A = this chain, B = another copy of it.
């Protein structure tokens, strides 16, 4: 059996640990690193976009998932939502200052991954060959 997860909120000093199962930092991390979270944050790093503009940028996302993702990111204070109650409606999404800082880290990751894709593909082939050959 493993020890109790650490994630305390004591004497005015909060300690958060993503390795602890019930730590709220884990779900926040998931909002950011989830399949669509990363891409939405990265897309918004380029500026302000309307809902359907984002949907076109993040190729393959469904309306439902984009809405859900943006709501989670807004609730966490990474994304700012500004709606004009006109007809047709106009809703603009942008990053908050906090969101911008975090999005920069996500972009570092994305660029790193894209840059090493040739090596990843080579590794994939080696791995598969070792089992099928």
Contacts and interface: CB of A to CB of B under 8 A. Distances in A.
Interface string A83-101: 0000000000000001001
A21 B77 contact: no
* A interface residue count range (under 10 / 10 to 19 / 20 to 34 / 35 or more): 35 or more
Main secondary structure of the interface of A (DSSP, over half): helix
A118 B76 CA distance: 10
How many copies of this chain? 2
B117 A16 contact: yes
A121 B2 CA distance: 27
A76 to B, nearest CB: 5
A50 interface: no
Contacts of A74: 127
